[in-house]
């Protein structure tokens, strides 16, 4: 797509719903900046930075990193000039407090969110996708107990973010159980 429209979007969906895969597709397709908080945190951790050491225990337990830590980390990424074609948020905001902070940051940058897209996938399918990923990738948080915790936190803390955002932004729900390419096409249509 060669148009110069700016796309500022936030992708939602539980662990294993395909947010990362679809965000990478949008980066290739639209040139948007991909801002993935989980990847940023794992990177900090693998580099052994102070931030990485602070967050390691949260990552291992599948618990949310404190809001103020995440908000500070994301603040400068949003102001990045590379985000000129737009950005796709992957894994943020995950709490209503983060969503409030996001709205404030975006208002002061004059880069308001255009749309929130949710990838809906049935829980049994999420669990089997994550079990498969655990065999393919080295991620300490893809064990059954930690997966259950991440899914619970998504339901309890992140689903309410969608109600909050719906007051000011369109929220589109897509069937994330379809094949990857079909989800990608539905996503492009949703943000066109």
**Positions marked catalytic:** 19, 94, 133, 139, 150
Return all residues near 127 (Cβ < 8 A) that are at least 6 apart: 16, 147, 151
Q: Give the whole-angstrom CA distance, residue 132 versus residue 85.
A: 34
In the bound state with ligand ADP, the residue whose beta carbon lies nearer, of 126 and 192, is 126
Return all residues near 50 (Cβ < 8 A) that are at least 6 apart: none
Nearest approach, Cβ of residue 95 and ligand ADP (Å):
7
| SS3 state of residue 138 | coil
Q: Does 87 help bind ligand ADP (rule: CB under 6 A)?
A: no
Site string for ligand ADP, 108-137 (x = CB under 6 A): ------------------------------
Q: Does 73 help bind ligand ADP (rule: CB under 6 A)?
A: no
Q: Does 65 help bind ligand ADP (rule: CB under 6 A)?
A: yes
Q: Give the whole-angstrom CA distance, residue 76 versus residue 192.
A: 27
Cβ count within 10 A of residue 181 = 9
Nearest approach, Cβ of residue 94 and ligand ADP (Å):
4
Q: Does 15 help bind ligand ADP (rule: CB under 6 A)?
A: yes
Question: Which residue is associated with the tokens 């809001």?
Answer: 67
Please report, as ranges, the residues that interact with ligand ADP according to CB under 6 A: 15, 37-38, 41, 58-59, 62-65, 70, 91-92, 94, 98, 141, 150
């Amino acid at each position: 797509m060669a148009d110069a429209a700016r796309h500022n979007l936030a992708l939602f969906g539980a662990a294993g719903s395909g947010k990362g895969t679809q965000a990478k597709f949008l980066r290739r397709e639209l040139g948007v900046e991909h801002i993935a908080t989980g990847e940023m945190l794992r990177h900090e951790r693998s580099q052994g930075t102070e931030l990485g050491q602070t967050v390691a225990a949260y990552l291992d337990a599948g618990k949310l990193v404190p809001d103020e830590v995440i908000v500070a980390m994301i603040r400068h990424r949003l102001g990045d000039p590379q985000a000129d074609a737009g950005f796709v948020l992957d894994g943020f905001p995950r709490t209503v407090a983060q969503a409030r902070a996001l709205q404030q940051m975006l208002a002061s940058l004059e880069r308001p969110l255009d749309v929130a897209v949710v990838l809906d996938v049935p829980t049994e399918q999420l669990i089997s996708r994550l079990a498969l990923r655990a065999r393919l990738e080295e991620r300490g948080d893809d064990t059954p107990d930690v997966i259950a915790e991440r899914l619970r936190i998504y339901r309890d803390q992140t689903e309410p973010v969608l109600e909050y955002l719906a007051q000011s932004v369109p929220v589109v729900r897509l069937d994330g159980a379809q094949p990857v390419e079909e989800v990608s096409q539905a996503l492009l249509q949703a943000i066109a």
